[in-house]
Amino acid sequence: MPPTTLSAAPSAQLHECLISLGSNIEPDHYVVQALDIISRECNLLARSKTIRTRPVGYQHQPDFLNAALLVSTPLEREAFRAYLKGVEDRLGRVRGAIKSGPRTMDLDIVAWDGEVVDDGYYRHDYVKKPVDEVLASSGRTLLSQTR
């Protein structure tokens, strides 16, 4: 089971993580809940505005609300990814047969310590636009932004 809280050695190095957030099941409710959890349990450095987007892939579902968050964490990337999956679970995420189907919450690591680790950044405006907004507002850049 993924961890539900963050803990690391007191002298652990902090990593910066850009997170893509999306919801299309009661999205107004679940986006607020995700922001509340992450801002309480992580060091939230910046966030984008929330945008409404059409579904990609499976089309027979409601529109999504998407945003991006910049946080710092003492956890290593895989441990933080497991933490995010735990947050999804706490928010009632059900992983069904349709990978791109409806969900209460989807939290994905887009960039880790300034390096893009999710190609969704290059392929999907619902990821790129909010991430670019966070980068602009926080004065950050991505190491592998040009492709």
Catalytically active residues, by annotation: 93, 103, 106, 108
The one-letter amino acid code at 112 reads W
19, 71 in Cβ contact below 8 A? yes
E strand map for 48-142:
51-53, 64-73, 106-112, 115-116
Q: What angle do CA 94, 28, 105 make, to 5 degrees?
A: 25
